Structure 1
Amino acid sequence: KKAGGGKTYGIDYSEDCVAVARKINRRLIKEGRVEILHGSVASLSFPNDSFDLVTAVETYYFWPDLIKNLREIRRVLKPGGFVILINEAYRHDKFEERNAKWARMGDFIYHLPEEFREFLGDAGYSSIQIDVLESKNWITAIGVKK
């Protein structure tokens, strides 16, 4: 309600997750304020320069090609738009045992905080900011489309 006339899109690779998200957001979908789509970060079905902000929460672990996928997000961002990645696991000695267990169970990859800066830079983002909450092993990586 505070965003005014904006519209929020949700995309998930899992058809089951799409179904759940549509159920949870039924009212907002009916109002035309939310749209939930089945899709992949590897090929976003939006025109260039469509969004002010793209967020990805707990998903990068499963992306097929991180730099290529960050470039695809960059394509759909408007100039000056932000990408924000929020994740509960990054490579850190204190959490290595837990993270390795998760990686084996879910077949995912996780990275060092410095690597996020490199990935975003290689994908063409500027004003890169990496924030970690070391006590919880959380990381937020932010980049701006030039």
Structure 2
Amino acid sequence: MGVFKAIFKNTRKPEGMLGKWMVSSMNHAHAAVADWGMDHVSALHPTMIAELGCGGGRNARELLRRFPEANLTALDYSEISVQKAKRVNQYEIQSGRCRVLQGDVSQLPFGSEEFDLVTAFETVYFWPGPTDSFCEVYRILKPGGVFLIVNESDGMSLSDNMWLSAIDGLRIFNKTQLSIFLNEAEFSSITVDHDAAKHRLCILAVRGT
């Protein structure tokens, strides 16, 4: 296996020393697109947030900063990501505003209608289904709750093939495909912001009331 592929295979589920490096690097590399995505929900007032595929926990920390009245649960299926997210959010965990769990998006360890906002930054590329996983998000959202998807790849870039060959299990969906999956999961309202110049996507899907 080449060095490039050995490194980036840890994008899906970080493991070992390379995984620790990947998790730390993703906290910095994806910050700009994550913040762009968060700007789309700035008018919301969530009190319960789920951050799925939380990686190294940087976005969880930023969400807690932006929504000071909210509590947040971060979830990832990589043990290394969970450990890193706990370190990054140590103060928020101690104050009772944050918890970090290891789990699978296809079987979320939450009750129905628990959250006002569910976020997924640079992660749905790897989700099982993904319609089945989106159904799980729908289940845990309160009526009127919002599911925010933010992707740095829109499925329209010539560089996509490079990433598809380097990262096992990666699937890059375009805005039409993601909208279809969300419709299949019965989300009632879907809004897409497609930044074609930067090949990035932000999608807001609302659970009907």
TM-score (norm 1): 0.93
Opposite residue 138 of structure 2, the aligned amino acid is R
Alignment of 1:1-146 (within 5 A): 3-92=67-156, 95-96=157-158, 98-107=159-168, 108-146=170-208
Q: Report deviation, 1:2.
A: 6.1
Gaps of 5+ in 2: 1-64
Separation of aligned partners in 1, 2:199 and 2:127: 20
Opposite residue 62 of structure 1, the aligned amino acid is F
CA contact (8 A) 1:12 1:40 kept: yes
CA contact (8 A) 1:90 1:139 kept: yes
Opposite residue 166 of structure 2, the aligned amino acid is M
Regions of 4+ moved over 6 Å: none
Aligned-residue Cα RMSD (Å) equals 1.2
Opposite residue 165 of structure 2, the aligned amino acid is R
Structure with more of its chain in strand, by fraction: 1
Q: Report deviation, 1:141.
A: 1.3
Q: Report deviation, 1:87.
A: 0.4
Q: Report deviation, 1:3.
A: 3.5
Separation of aligned partners in 2, 1:63 and 1:73: 12
Separation of aligned partners in 2, 1:134 and 1:52: 29
Q: Report deviation, 1:57.
A: 0.2
Partner SS state of residue 188, structure 2: strand
